[in-house]
Structure 1
Amino acid sequence: MPRGDKSKYTGKQKRKAAKIEQGYRRKGISEDEAERRAWATVNKMDQGGKKPGGSGRGKAIDKSPAREGGRKGGRAKAARNSGRKTKR
């Protein structure tokens, strides 16, 4: 299997990578870098391709990258809105 081959990834993993890549593109990151980061995130979460064949099947999904991104986004939003809050 040549380097960069995505044949062992499921459709769900490919969709996940595409969605992550879109998020990076919205932040202004170049297309190549966004794709690289997206697949790195999918690999970290799923430990590589999930299609049958080879070793390492049945591992749990590591959600720490998504959790970390959510925390960062939440903090950023809270910082942006802190001056706009009104007292009731």
Structure 2
Amino acid sequence: MTRGDKSAYTDKQKRKAEHIEDSEREKGRSKEDAERVAWATVNKQDGGGKKSGSGRKSS
């Protein structure tokens, strides 16, 4: 996944980021800062755009 590519995120994560971005814009942040904060928050809460686990087998 290239930097900035949001295709690995679920629809729910995308909606959450959009909602956070709107909220940040209402607080007066620029579009770029609001988007950055929104995706950073989604990544922190949900672990990013991972579709599966770490790839390691559990024993």
TM-score tier by shorter-chain length is 0.7 to 0.9
Task: Name the counterpart of 1:59.
Answer: none
Structure 2 counterpart of 1:16, which letter?
K
Matches within 5 A, 1:21-36: 21-36=21-36
State the secondary structure of the residue aligned to 1:14: helix
Hey, what's the Cα distance between the residues in 2 that align with 1:2 and 1:41? Answer: 19
Hey, what's the Cα distance between the residues in 1 that align with 2:3 and 2:50? Answer: 17
How far is the alpha carbon of 1:55 from its aligned partner? 2.2
Hey, what's the Cα distance between the residues in 2 that align with 1:44 and 1:19? Answer: 16
Task: Name the counterpart of 1:55.
Answer: 54
State the secondary structure of the residue aligned to 1:24: helix
User: How many residues matched?
Assistant: 55
How far is the alpha carbon of 1:49 from its aligned partner? 1.2
How far is the alpha carbon of 1:18 from its aligned partner? 0.1
State the secondary structure of the residue aligned to 2:2: coil
The TM-score, its normalising length taken from structure 1, stands at 0.57
Q: Kindly indicate whether the alpha-carbon contact (under 8 Å) linking 1:10 and 1:50 is maintained by their aligned counterparts in 2.
A: no
The TM-score, its normalising length taken from structure 2, stands at 0.83
Query: Unaligned regions of 5+ residues in structure 1, if any?
Result: 57-88
RMSD: 1.6
How far is the alpha carbon of 1:2 from its aligned partner? 1.1
Point out which structure has higher relative CO (alpha carbons under 8 A, 6+ apart): 2
